[in-house]
Amino acid sequence: MGLEDLTEFEIIQGFAGLISLGITIFIGFIIVSKYFKYKKIELFTVGLMMVFITSGWWGSTLNFLFYAFFNFEMGDQLYIFISYGLVSLASIFWIYSFVYIVYPKLKWKLFSIWLAISIVYTIFFMYYLFTEPSILAVRITRFDSETRYFVTVYILLSLLISSQIMFLE
């Protein structure tokens, strides 16, 4: 039951994910807490981006904890939602933060375009999650999954847009 059933690799993978997530989420909340002191919205959004940027590992880490301590394994839909359903929030917070700081005059125009793309992504993500989750991702091991083209393209588009925004003006 639980931890005894896991391989050494799965235990190391689970604890490494737990430590990594713990550190990143802790740093994110420290940055968010600075918002309340300095009242700068970019601190709030950068902190939230730090929290949500690791959401791709939440599913495997939570599944590790549930399995190790309660002998419970998440179903594919829950696992995929926890792992990839909040990725768009990270990119939304990052794009907002970046354009707020670097391009304040273009902030709403650039942010609105990305927000629209992210909303469309999220609508399709939720649709596929309940109709055909394998379009989004497939579990390959108990604590690991492989994204499919739909999620991968959104993540790559996020990276591309983030890098190209730096060269505006």
Q: Where are the domains of the chain?
A: 2-165
Contacts of 140 (CB under 8 A, 6+ apart): 146
What whole-number distance in Å separates Cα of residue 128 and Cα of residue 150?
A: 10
pLDDT, residue 126, reads 97
What whole-number distance in Å separates Cα of residue 54 and Cα of residue 16?
A: 13
pLDDT, residue 46, reads 96
Minimal CA–CA distance to 41: which of 104, 85, 88, 112? 104
pLDDT in tens, the chain (169 residues): 577 888 899 999 999 999 999 999 999 999 999 999 999 999 999 999 999 999 989 999 999 999 998 989 999 999 999 999 999 999 999 999 999 998 899 889 999 999 999 999 999 999 999 999 999 999 998 889 999 999 999 999 998 887 777 676 5
pLDDT, residue 169, reads 58
Beta strands in 36-167 (DSSP E): 137-141, 144-147
Q: Which amino acid is at 156?
A: L
pLDDT, residue 131, reads 97
Q: Please tell me the total number of residues recorded for the chain in this structure.
A: 169
pLDDT, residue 48, reads 96
| pTM for this predicted structure | 0.89
